[in-house]
Amino acid sequence: MKGKTNNPNGRPIGATGKASKEIKEWIKTILENNQVQFEEDLKATEPEKRLDVIVKLLPYVIPKQSETKLSLDYERAQNILESMDELSKMFE
């Protein structure tokens, strides 16, 4: 039967295939072995292009935040600040 597998739940979220793992490891090795050259090339690049490269690489270092999560974090921070303000008034 088409689409039928031994795992009815499918591949777990975040699981990668063997080929994907091998390619990621290969790319990682290339970057590690050429780090000095990459840095030199980046420094020799025009500032606008250098910034463009850095911005494109950021998502691989800093996880993206969803708008919802950011607004919830802001609200939580506001609540903490208000609580601290109330506490400081108690000790005046």
Q: Are residues 54 and 22 in the same domain?
A: yes
Query: Hey, how many other C-beta atoms are within 10 angstroms of the C-beta on 42?
Result: 13
d(CA 60, CA 47): 21
For residue 50, which amino acid is it? R
List pLDDT tens digits, range 18-51: 778 888 889 889 988 999 999 999 899 998 999 9
**Cα 80-81-86 angle, rounded to 5 deg:** 95
Q: Are residues 68 and 80 in the same domain?
A: yes
Question: Does residue 13 form part of some domain?
Answer: no
Q: Are residues 57 and 84 in the same domain?
A: no
For residue 61, the model assigns a pLDDT of 79
How many structural domains comprise the chain? 2
pTM: 0.45
List pLDDT tens digits, range 45-91: 998 999 988 888 888 877 766 655 666 677 777 777 788 777 777 66
